[in-house]
Amino acid sequence: MIGTSTREYIFIRACIFLLRAITPACISYCALRFLSPARLRAPVALELWAACETLFFFFFYIPRKQHLQAAAVHPPLASRKERRLLFDRCSSNIPDHARYLRGWFMGAPLSEIKRDNLNEFLAWAFFNTGHVNTIDPDELDEYIREIEKQLGREVEPGRGNARCVRLTIDKVDMSHRSLLWYMVSTKSALPQAAIDALNRLFRLSIFSLPSVCGTPTSTTTAFLSGSTFRCSHSVPMI
């Protein structure tokens, strides 16, 4: 558990600062090393590490960020009849409309989900757009009336503090992490990655033995072409 004292907070912030400073330091070193190869020279291991961090930033992080920030490609807009059919089909499969709606608004109370907030959500969900003013207001009002029936209450006019999730429109905020960060954070996931690779290559049938009296099992069994092998329980099986 992370402590809550001032000293521990300062230590954690210092660690975060140092981890975030790795990539700028590596890029700066590589640039200086290229400009002044005779003056600046670090051990080979550090130079390789700096080169890897620099390549990771420019050839993986930057392209990945641009890809995630690119506008989504939406399917052709459906007709009004098709949209209404989709709306009714979705509504008929929702057991708790209040909980469902709050989920799309990141847990905000219903009192903060007002008409303008709903219009934004419906514009994305059924029209694939974030511009409410380009949509027929009568159709939006039709959907909101149905939502009011399902909720058993009227939706207040105006705009509340709630913010809806629009998966293909909202900006994706990325925070850079160094290659070292990923190497450390994914170390525990390497056994699972190995199992996944074997599964893709050999189509393994993997399952965990059922627990007895609430005690977790210590082994996981995998079948491969009629043979079996067992994995330690520390390997997370999904």
The pLDDT score that the predictor gives to residue 201 is 60
The overall average pLDDT reported for the chain is 81
pLDDT in tens, 13-32: 898 888 889 999 999 999 98
**Residue in 176, 175, 185, 231 with CA at minimum distance from that of residue 207:** 231
Q: What is the mean pLDDT of residues 134-139?
A: 93
The pLDDT score that the predictor gives to residue 195 is 60
Radius of gyration in angstroms for the set of CA atoms belonging to the chain, rounded to a whole number: 26
What tokens does 45 get? Answer: 């291991």
141 vs 53: CA distance, rounded Å: 53
- Residue 139: CA atoms inside 13 Å, Cβ hemisphere, count? 17
**Residue in 106, 109, 124, 96 with CA at minimum distance from that of residue 155:** 109
93 vs 50: CA distance, rounded Å: 53
Cα torsion angle, 193, 198, 200, 205, sign: negative
- Quick check: 89 pLDDT over 80? yes
Question: What residue ranges do the domains of the chain occupy?
Answer: 6-69, 80-151, 188-232
Amino acid letter at 3? G
What tokens does 236 get? Answer: 């997370």
> Which residues is 221 bridged to in the sheet?
207, 230
